[in-house]
Amino acid sequence: MTPGALWIMVMAGICMQSSAVHLRNMEHFITAVAHLEHLNPQLSSLALVSNLCQIADQTHNVTHGFMRSSNNETETHPKIKERLNINLNLSHFFSQALHHFITAAYEEKGVVLTPDGTTVALAPLLLGLESGLRAENVSSQPNGFYLHPLARTLGLSFLNSTPTVRLGAEGCWDSVSAPMVFTLSNFPSLVTDAVVHGGMDGAILGKHLSVVNCSKMNVSTLLRSYYLRTVEELDDVLDPHLKGRNRRQNFQKITSSSLLQEKVAGVLPSQGDAELESLIAKGIKEFVLRYMAIPSKPCLNLQTCSQNMRAMQRFHQKDWGWYDIGYSFVVGSDGYIYEGRGWMSQGAHTKGRNNVGYGVAFIGDYSGRLPSTHDMELVRHHLVKCGVNNGFLQEDFTILGHRQVVVTTSCPGNALYSEITTWMHYKDKDPLK
């Protein structure tokens, strides 16, 4: 291994690809929606979103098939007949930005990069918004109706994929500052990470729209509040905690593994088919581990930290098929750093670049608070000194945050990332790009 970098929770890289006409980030998409609203001042939010769903090639049957009136189980909602006033430039933008598909070269279309580093597919996001806006006109909705667009895609993926490609894959953008092309790292399932993120966001916002009178709210205002509002900014559109970066926490509040499994089973359907029910159960278990798991609380003693390390190791070996835990080192809050693969073995923390650095994970969620001073000093001074003195790290090594190397995460959390930007050897740009 070439000694040279110490990475705090790093996983994937930035790959170089060709460019496109329009930037593929959430800011540009929201700006385009705002322009569309300006051209259509009399159009309702529901009509606007429904038209965008049609541009995205998403039929109304996805949501209509699940959203029934309590008085008439066979009655579906009529299609929105209001049409958009749209210019050629916006028409071209939306047709390119909304239609989700994957090319033979594993380029995923119809996705955008959000400010928190997450890649989101726009089609399932819009379907979630549509389900919430339609729910305002229905007296009663089945429990978890906002999960239907995501459940349908999950069900199809579970049914048509092998266990190794049931979910995912992740990928990388050609550029963080000017994203244009998103390329998947592996063979894709029917429900990529971006599709899941869009489905989760759509469910969260759809649920919100169904219980809050947002009929007069512009769609662009809602999306700007959810995705673009910073930690310091407050507005009266959404709850302060209802932000894209809190996706996992907020999704957990509106669903459960059993509810999601029920919705997926209703899509296929699987009643009486033991093999199919087992397939769904395994798929949901994998989904929960991959997308709904919240970082654990800091471990405060040897017993708890050891249990966390063993659980992490089992997950990496059993679920991911690795020969050992992926991280080089793991920091507890009991005064110790635990060795994963250590200095001598190549880690599995930064696909494509595991041979040029080491991955250090902190146990806990440090979005709003910091680890203890002692824990940070263990890494900042003692661990790196050990690496340099023994020739594992160069004296001019670089420290980077997870989010600097992989654009689909906000790790190591806003609070901890702000802290490491003050450390010696931190670089604001990855020298390997």
Question: Do the beta carbons of residue 384 and residue 5 sit within 8 Å?
Answer: no
Do 173 and 271 share a domain, yes or no?
A: yes
- Residue 168 is predicted with a pLDDT of 84
The gap from C-alpha 412 to its chain's centroid, in whole angstroms, comes to 15
Do 276 and 313 share a domain, yes or no?
A: no
pLDDT tens-digit profile of 355-382? 888 999 888 878 778 888 888 999 998 9
Do 371 and 385 share a domain, yes or no?
A: yes
Structure token digits, residue 359: 């991955």
433 inside domain: no
Do 212 and 237 share a domain, yes or no?
A: yes
Do 280 and 300 share a domain, yes or no?
A: no
Structural domain for 256, as ranges: 26-292
pLDDT tens-digit profile of 377-391? 999 989 999 999 989
Q: Which of 148, 286, 134 is nearest to 209 (CA)?
A: 134
Tell me the residue type at 199: G
**Between these two residues, 319 and 342, which has the higher pLDDT value?**
342
Do 271 and 343 share a domain, yes or no?
A: no
The Cα–Cα gap between 378 and 395 comes to 17
Q: Which of 176, 334, 160, 144 is nearest to 257 (CA)?
A: 144
- For 167-174, what is the mean pLDDT? 84
- For 164-175, what is the mean pLDDT? 83
Do 325 and 268 share a domain, yes or no?
A: no
**To the nearest whole number, what is the mean pLDDT of the chain?**
81
Do 270 and 146 share a domain, yes or no?
A: yes
Is residue 13 pLDDT above 50, yes or no?
no
pLDDT tens-digit profile of 288-331? 888 887 656 777 888 888 888 888 888 888 767 788 888 999 99
- Residue 72 is predicted with a pLDDT of 35
Domain count, the chain: 2
Do 187 and 318 share a domain, yes or no?
A: no
- For 189-201, what is the mean pLDDT? 94
251 inside domain: yes
The CATH number linked to 336 is: 3.40.80.10
Q: Which of 257, 292, 327 is the last residue of a domain?
A: 292
pLDDT tens-digit profile of 36-94? 999 999 999 999 999 999 998 754 333 333 333 333 333 334 455 567 788 888 988 99
Q: Which of 329, 337, 400, 343 is nearest to 5 (CA)?
A: 400
User: 3-state DSSP call for residue 254?
Assistant: helix
Do 256 and 308 share a domain, yes or no?
A: no
Question: Do the beta carbons of residue 122 and residue 97 sit within 8 Å?
Answer: yes
Q: Which of 431, 359, 347, 349 is nearest to 396 (CA)?
A: 431
pLDDT tens-digit profile of 229-262? 865 566 667 777 788 888 888 999 999 999 999 9
- Residue 147 is predicted with a pLDDT of 94
Helix (H) or strand (E) holding 48: helix 45-55
- For 206-234, what is the mean pLDDT? 81
Q: What is the DSSP string of 98-142?
A: H--EE-TT-BEESEEE-TTS-EEEHHHHHHHHHHHHHHTT-S---
Q: Which of 321, 290, 63 is nearest to 166 (CA)?
A: 290
Q: In the structure, what pLDDT confidence band is assigned to residue 20 with cuts at 50, 70 and 90?
A: very low
Predicted TM-score (pTM) above 0.85: no
Is residue 199 pLDDT above 90, yes or no?
yes
* Contacts (Cβ under 8 Å, ≥6 apart) of 197: 118, 119, 120, 121, 247
Q: Which of 231, 259, 292 is the last residue of a domain?
A: 292
Most confident of 34-38, 171-175, 333-337, 405-409: 34-38
Q: What is the dihedral of CA 334, 339, 343, 345, to 10 degrees?
A: -160
List of long-range contacts for 62-68, beta carbons under 8 Å, 24+ apart? 62/127, 62/148, 62/149, 62/152, 63/127, 63/130, 63/131, 63/134, 63/148, 63/149, 65/148, 66/142, 66/145, 66/148, 66/266, 67/131, 67/134, 67/135, 67/138, 67/141, 67/142, 67/145, 67/148, 68/142
Q: Which of 269, 292, 315 is the last residue of a domain?
A: 292
Is residue 22 pLDDT above 80, yes or no?
no
- Residue 103 is predicted with a pLDDT of 94
- Residue 367 is predicted with a pLDDT of 75
Do 170 and 247 share a domain, yes or no?
A: yes
**Between these two residues, 240 and 142, which has the higher pLDDT value?**
142
180 inside domain: yes
398 inside domain: yes
- Residue 102 is predicted with a pLDDT of 94
Q: Where are the alpha helices (DSSP H) in 161-256?
A: 193-211, 219-223, 247-254
138 inside domain: yes
Q: How far is CA 432 from CA 12, 15, 388, in A?
A: 12, 11, 20
242 inside domain: yes
- For 262-283, what is the mean pLDDT? 86
Q: In the structure, what pLDDT confidence band is assigned to residue 219 with cuts at 50, 70 and 90?
A: very high
Is residue 398 pLDDT above 70, yes or no?
yes
Helix (H) or strand (E) holding 339: strand 337-339
Do 274 and 313 share a domain, yes or no?
A: no
List of long-range contacts for 275-283, beta carbons under 8 Å, 24+ apart? 276/159, 279/158, 279/159, 280/155, 280/158, 282/163, 283/154, 283/157, 283/158, 283/166, 283/167
- For 114-143, what is the mean pLDDT? 84
233 inside domain: yes
10 inside domain: no
